[in-house]
Structure 1
């Protein structure tokens, strides 16, 4: 499991695991093989960007659904 190496501070520490699970789920849906050892050096930049974009879309959808349910 990868760890966040940037300076952003998470408000919810459990978000790391949730984002990692979502990342693997999205990659699997897209047919992109993510290495089991966690080394991403062999994954093309285009593929990681594609995964990131789809994760962002999925997170926005989840947030919109959550907000719609609260109204």
Structure 2
């Protein structure tokens, strides 16, 4: 059965994902609020950030797999 919780499997991953979120937002020209409240962000902006993070994570995984085989 698939694990469908939002708990991270790797303990230090949260900090890396937060850093990636800010890097991607900067690349897209989206200013993230410093107070951490995202209620004023549009769905399109947040979706763009999430989509690019997913693409980057897939790219990293593909590179790691390519190095293994």
TM-score, length of structure 2 as denominator length: 0.87
Q: Aligned match of 2:16 in 12, 15, 18?
A: 18
Tell me the equivalent position of 1:47. 45
Within 1, Cα distance between the matches of 2:31 and 2:7? 29
Any stretches of 5+ residues in structure 2 without a counterpart? none
Tell me the equivalent position of 1:29. 27
The alignment yields a C-alpha RMSD, in angstroms, of: 1.4
Query: How many equivalent pairs are there?
Result: 66
From the CA coordinates, give the structure whose radius of gyration is larger: 2
